[in-house]
């Protein structure tokens, strides 16, 4: 059964036209961030990109994964596995990037994949509870989920807060997209957006980085609330192979450049 069906069986699926624009924006801002961080000399004075445009990429990637996991895929776990495969391919060139900290750090695809698995599990609980899920089993699953979150946080990019983004996005998008027939339902929809925005703010230290990250999340939540209807289709659809290959390929290119220079 699809996660979307579990969430709101009687609600029409929203338009995903905006994700065509999101793909281009996410890849461009991510690439600018990584070039300014790893490949460009500090003397060029481009470090401002890291705390501005570079803060758009992760919340945008997380929003698109949450959106597709909630509204478009019949099997969120299979979708999570595809993201994980990209992460496995990208891990070696990602590990070659110069870092200020030692130890194993897994790239963003691991964060997105684990976040999607967590979000799918969380949204499946009401339906499974209705089909007779025992309280002890739900408690055991919750303990296991917290254990995975605690253990994975220190070794994935964006840490514990990053792992929370997709589950929080999915909860908020589900509620914001659902029809609000009563004032209480509308208030609940608005309140569901707050954990996403607070988490986004906590992920960064500088005011500029906070502003870009929170603004990106706010736009994604507004799209779920109905603004998706206003988005035209992107005139140049990103080729699927480019979308799948760009993340590991651009790290490999940066690693090669660093080796040569």
Contact call for residues 96 and 77 (beta carbons, < 8 A): no
Bigger pLDDT: 102 or 62? 62
Specify the pLDDT at position 2.
44
- How confident is the prediction for the chain on average, in pLDDT? 91
Instruction: Name the residue among 231, 156, 211, 177 with its Cα closest to residue 66.
Output: 177
Asked if residue 118 lies in contact with residue 145, where contact means CB atoms within 8 angstroms, the answer is: yes
| R_g of the chain, CA atoms, integer Å | 19
**The CA-based dihedral angle spanning residues 241, 247, 249, 255, taken in that order and rounded to the nearest 10 degrees:** 180
The predicted-structure confidence for 27-50, as pLDDT tens digits, reads as follows 999 999 999 999 887 878 888 898
Task: Tell me the per-residue pLDDT of 80-98, one tens digit each, with 9 for 90 and over.
Answer: 999 999 999 999 999 999 8
Residue 8 or 205, more confident: 205
Residue 72 has pLDDT above 70, yes or no: yes
pTM of the model: 0.92
Q: Which residues contact 211 (CB under 8 A, 6 or more apart)?
A: none
Residue percentage of the chain with pLDDT more than 70: 95
pLDDT attached to residue 181:
63
Q: Can you give the pLDDT at residue 50?
A: 87
Q: Evaluate if residue 6 carries a pLDDT over 60.
A: no
């Amino acid at each position: 059964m699809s996660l979307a069906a579990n969430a709101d069986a009687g609600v029409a699926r929203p338009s995903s036209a905006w994700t065509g624009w999101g793909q281009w924006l996410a890849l461009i801002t991510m690439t600018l961030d990584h070039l300014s961080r790893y490949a460009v000399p500090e003397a060029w004075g481009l470090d401002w990109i890291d705390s501005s445009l570079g803060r758009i990429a992760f919340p945008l990637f997380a929003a698109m994964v949450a959106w597709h996991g909630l509204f478009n895929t019949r099997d969120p776990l299979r979708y999570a596995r595809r993201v994980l495969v990209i992460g496995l391919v990208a891990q070696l060139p990602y590990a070659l990037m110069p870092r200020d900290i030692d130890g194993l750090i897994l790239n963003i695809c691991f964060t997105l994949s684990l976040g999607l698995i967590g979000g799918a599990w969380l949204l499946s609980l009401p339906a499974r509870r209705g089909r007779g899920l025992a309280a002890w089993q739900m408690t055991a699953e919750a303990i296991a989920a917290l254990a995975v979150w605690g253990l994975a946080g220190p070794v994935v990019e964006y840490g514990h807060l990053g792992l929370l983004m997709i589950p929080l996005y999915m909860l908020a998008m589900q509620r914001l997209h659902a029809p609000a027939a009563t004032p209480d339902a509308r208030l609940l929809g608005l309140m569901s957006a707050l954990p996403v925005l607070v988490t986004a703010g906590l992920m960064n230290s500088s005011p500029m980085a906070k502003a870009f990250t929170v603004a990106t999340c706010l736009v994604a939540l507004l799209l779920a609330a109905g603004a998706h209807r206003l988005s035209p289709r992107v005139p140049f659809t990103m080729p699927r192979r480019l979308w799948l290959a760009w993340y590991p390929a651009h790290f490999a290119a940066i690693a090669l450049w660093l080796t040569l220079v």
